[in-house]
Structure 1
Amino acid sequence: MSCSNLPGRALAAAAAFFSPAAAFASEMSGAELSLAWAVPFAGILLSIAFIPLFAAKFWHNHFGKVSLAWAVLTIVPISMVFGLENGLIALNEALVGDFLPFILFVGTLFVVAGGIHISGNFSGRPAGNLAFLVGGAGLANIMGTTGAAMLLIRPLLKATEHRKYRMHTFIFFIFIVANIGGSLTPLGDPPLFMGFLRGVDFFWPAQHLFLPMVFTVGLLSVVYLVIDTICWKKEHPRSLPVEPKKEANESLRISGAVNIMLLVIVIGAVLLSGVWDSGFKVQFLGVTLTGQGLARDGIFLACAILSVILTPKVVREKNQFSWEPILEVAKLFAGIFVCMVPVLAMLKAGHDGSFAPLVALVTNADGTYNNSVFFWLTGMLSSFLDNTPTYLAFFNLAGGDPTVLMGVDAKTLMAVSCGAVFMGANTYIGNAPNFMVHSIACSRGVKMPSFFGYMAWSMGILIPTFLIGDWLFLM
């Protein structure tokens, strides 16, 4: 057998492995994709979970290359099977259509919030730490989960730096501030903003998700207070001083106030893109670029640059600001967004795709929607996929009509919304701020759990909480 055609044979074999039941002439259809197309996505998730456990040094130095490798193993087969043009379109939709706006928004909030330094007499006591969590949940609805998390993570780290047991505090910080807290406004979390763009009233989440959010945050707050009180008592036996020495009468102080104005501008840009139709549209390799979207992203970039220029260097030094967390998020999520392309296509195919058995679960025998299944399916997929496209997929699966979903099917929209926002807390990759909190906490000496170690916490605490909430509000 001649070896001259081995590369071609190898490519053909790979194409055959990934080939759907039927070929397409012009575009990739999720209804025709086999589950084999989900292999790269599973691969990047398993890499994030296992490589840091068994080869930490390799992962620290090469995680970007690992992410790139899985992205290549997604796009190359797409290009081979469906043609180079469709491969480029898929890549462009993932990076320009989804990843670029995502990282600009998250990165801008990271830079701007990282230029605000909050100081004061923070004792690190359980009640004070809980105030950070509850206050952060409120702020998340104004400046987004990313903005609130990045604003409060550093003062909370400072408040607890003398504590021996503090890992649990930052796990609950991810639960409450980086996820569940931002469920009352479209500004809080991207899935709700996408609902707003599709006709859901601005105040609908506050009216319908208030009780589920208050119950969930309230129950988690009680659990946290019990755990942290036990840890505090272990750290401070009665024979020892109750608190470490603090600077006398250090009142609450905020430095880098120019960034507060920039945060307001960022929030305004988000709202502007939702209510203003510029009339300008241009197609670029399958992605529709609009005037309002380009203006929003340009404002984000300008605010980030202004924050770097206008923030006194000493403020970022006090925050121990580093670019590493956002670079880690950018490299990993770029790969995740690319690997998600065929998975989301199959999900969006609904009853016609490879995930049809799962999709069939959302409808009862009498044709009505099963709200509990909507909640759990949206939530579980949001734990590993980006929660925004997952929200949109199930929003459309529930009919996609905002008038109906805000009316007779309000509980279904509640289920989809709660699943997307709440269950982003189930894993480190469920929501972008999760990874950033993890990275910042680790850089400041907090021994955070591994990927599966964190999931043990979320499964043990969040899942029982969600089961009770499902029974109370969705059944």
Structure 2
Amino acid sequence: MMTTTATSGQRASGQRGGVLKTAYSLAGGALALCLMPGAALAAGDIGGATLGAAWALPFAGMLLSIALGPVLFPHLWELSYGRFAAFWSLLVLVPLVLLRGFEPTLGALLHTALLDYVPFIILLFALFTIAGGILVMGNLDGTPATNTVLLAIGTVLASLVGTTGASIIMIRPVLRANDDRRFNVHVVVFFIFLVSNIGGSLTPLGDPPLFLGFLRGVDFFWTTTHLLPQTAFATVVLLAVFYALDSWLIRKEADYPPLRDPTPDSKVRLWGKVNILLLGGVILAILMSASWKPGVSFDIHGVHVELQNVLRDIALLILAGLSLVLTPGPVRAGNEFSWGPIKEVAKLFAGIFICIIPVLAMLQAGREGAFAPLVALVSNPDGSANNTAYFWLTGALSSFLDNAPTYLVFFELAGGDAKALMTTGALTLTAISAGAVFMGANSYIGNAPNFMVYAIAKDRKVRMPSFFGYMLWSGAVLIPLFLVQTVLFFR
């Protein structure tokens, strides 16, 4: 046994060394491509118009690591994802300091950290902590009607507690309701479609990209009003398709001997109710920061941090702390709560936000920057926005790369001015938002909750489809839906 362990360790070490060696070779090539003369710049200004396209390579490497690491080398990824994030981050920061100067680099880093990363992670931490303290116990009979209602509840809940929070709360009750069904894979697949993705499209709390939009100045309820038609249409269609499919499959099960129910029907009970009040506090804190503008700000190396946003983040941390104190330990244990997922998110998004700094600077340069061809791709001949292209390009990248940075890229590509995008560019912002949130459901790696739900279901002996098997489901169900939505809403 000791010999086997040593051999496994040697293989893991060799695998880690080989992957990291390849990564460092790529890093050297990327650094050489990035080298170019730089002029004196102000703090926070890294000269986006003069940056070459190779500055986007660390960002691409970071996203590809997140997308492929858990699939190609899961053990190495689990041990070293923080090192990958640090590697790609240094590949941005070191050349920026050398070629653009310390002051511009520090200013850009602080701007990203204080205005984007810190509030983003604090919100995710608060929602993750509070939602992890809500436990649904008991069991229902997984009939088509019951399953459809459970999916509908989870879909609505996703915009209130986030897609991750709703998935944590609802996946185990859904699995218990269907653990005596012979055909139950489709239940989990549609759960990922609706609860883990599309349901989070109506508020900035629902999905990380929408909160990034809120931090950039998009009004809290703008998302609700402008994405409601698309979300309602997608939800109704998917629930109807699910009900028809589930009804057909349950009739088909009648031809087989019934399975033993490992969790007989029992009264459904909700534990950790205090966390519902705390979630209300989260919503109030965010609305306060959006509506109360005292005009007080703190200047940190040229970055203006507004008082209302500081108070919002402090309130969110206090609410998360109250959840930890007031929620009994067995309630969190029932949800199999651990800090591992939020630690991973914090480290990976630190890398993402650092690597995206030069990308956003180049996008802000518009037609004068290295991404001028991309600007042309999402523009009509008369210069107006091609909303169909925005919807599908944002969605295509969100299907395989994290949808939060993808949203930011296309938000900046569309001009980056929240006031303009909420008015004259409303359809463009709607297309970007819908593409990022909806099409995160196209693969297991499109949105963080997808793989979590997959892992939980597989652990409960559900025969989940493979990576490409799941994409057959999404290709058959979601892609036709998105084509119809394109014709109805984005042309």
TM range (shorter): 0.7 to 0.9
Q: Letter of the aligned partner of 1:266 in structure 2? A: V
Q: Letter of the aligned partner of 2:103 in structure 1? A: E
8 Å contact kept, 1:123–1:243: no
Q: Do structure 1's residue 25 and structure 2's residue 43 form an aligned pair? A: no
Q: Do structure 1's residue 252 and structure 2's residue 248 form an aligned pair? A: no
Alignment match of 1:332 (pick from 331, 348, 370)? 348
Q: Do structure 1's residue 350 and structure 2's residue 366 form an aligned pair? A: yes
Q: How does 1:451-466 map to 2 (within 5 A)?
A: 457-466=473-482
- The structural deviation recorded for 1:274 is 0.9
Q: How does 1:58-207 map to 2 (within 5 A)?
A: 58-162=76-180, 166=184, 168-189=186-207, 191-192=209-210, 203-207=221-225
Distance 1:215 1:259, change over 3 A: same
- Unaligned segments of structure 2, at least 5 residues: 1-26
Q: Letter of the aligned partner of 2:87 in structure 1? A: A
Query: For residue 39 of structure 1, what is the aligned residue in structure 2?
Result: 57
- The structural deviation recorded for 1:330 is 2.1
Alignment match of 1:56 (pick from 74, 85, 89)? 74
8 Å contact kept, 2:116–2:212: no
Distance 1:446 1:111, change over 3 A: farther
What RMSD in Å do the two structures reach over aligned CA positions? 3.5
8 Å contact kept, 1:118–1:254: yes
Q: Letter of the aligned partner of 1:365 in structure 2? A: P
Query: For residue 238 of structure 1, what is the aligned residue in structure 2?
Result: 255
Query: For residue 419 of structure 1, what is the aligned residue in structure 2?
Result: 435
May I ask how many residue pairs the two structures share in their alignment? 463
- The structural deviation recorded for 1:49 is 3.4
- The structural deviation recorded for 1:390 is 5.3
TM-score (norm 1): 0.83
Q: Deviations over 1:220-260 (max 9, x none)?
A: 334444555566567x4534126726445x22211111111
- The structural deviation recorded for 1:469 is 0.5
Distance 1:160 1:65, change over 3 A: farther
Q: Deviations over 1:2-61 (max 9, x none)?
A: xxxxxxxxx9987542135x5232131222222211222222233233333343322222
Q: Do structure 1's residue 221 and structure 2's residue 239 form an aligned pair? A: yes
Query: For residue 295 of structure 1, what is the aligned residue in structure 2?
Result: 311
Query: For residue 315 of structure 1, what is the aligned residue in structure 2?
Result: 331
Q: Do structure 1's residue 210 and structure 2's residue 228 form an aligned pair? A: yes
Q: Letter of the aligned partner of 2:56 in structure 1? A: A
- Unaligned segments of structure 1, at least 5 residues: 1-10
Distance 1:413 1:39, change over 3 A: closer
For 2:385, what is the secondary structure of its paired residue? coil
Deviates more, 1:50-59 or 1:454-463: 454-463
Deviates more, 1:205-214 or 1:73-82: 205-214
8 Å contact kept, 1:49–1:452: no
Distance 1:198 1:334, change over 3 A: closer
Q: Letter of the aligned partner of 2:391 in structure 1? A: F
TM-score (norm 2): 0.81
Q: Deviations over 1:165-211 (max 9, x none)?
A: 65554443332223222333444345555666777665544444322
Q: Distance in 1 between matches of 2:465 and 2:355?
A: 25
8 Å contact kept, 2:398–2:446: yes
Q: Distance in 1 between matches of 2:462 and 2:214?
A: 37
Deviates more, 1:284-293 or 1:400-409: 400-409
Q: Do structure 1's residue 473 and structure 2's residue 481 form an aligned pair? A: no
Q: Distance in 2 between matches of 1:198 and 1:56?
A: 34
Q: Distance in 2 between matches of 1:197 and 1:344?
A: 15
Distance 1:161 1:280, change over 3 A: farther
Q: Distance in 2 between matches of 1:402 and 1:48?
A: 29
Deviates more, 1:355-364 or 1:429-438: 429-438
Q: Identity of counterpart residues, as a percentage?
A: 51
8 Å contact kept, 1:181–1:213: yes
For 1:252, what is the secondary structure of its paired residue? strand
Deviates more, 1:199-208 or 1:58-67: 199-208
Q: Deviations over 1:256-307 (max 9, x none)?
A: 1111111111111111111111322113245432211111111111111111
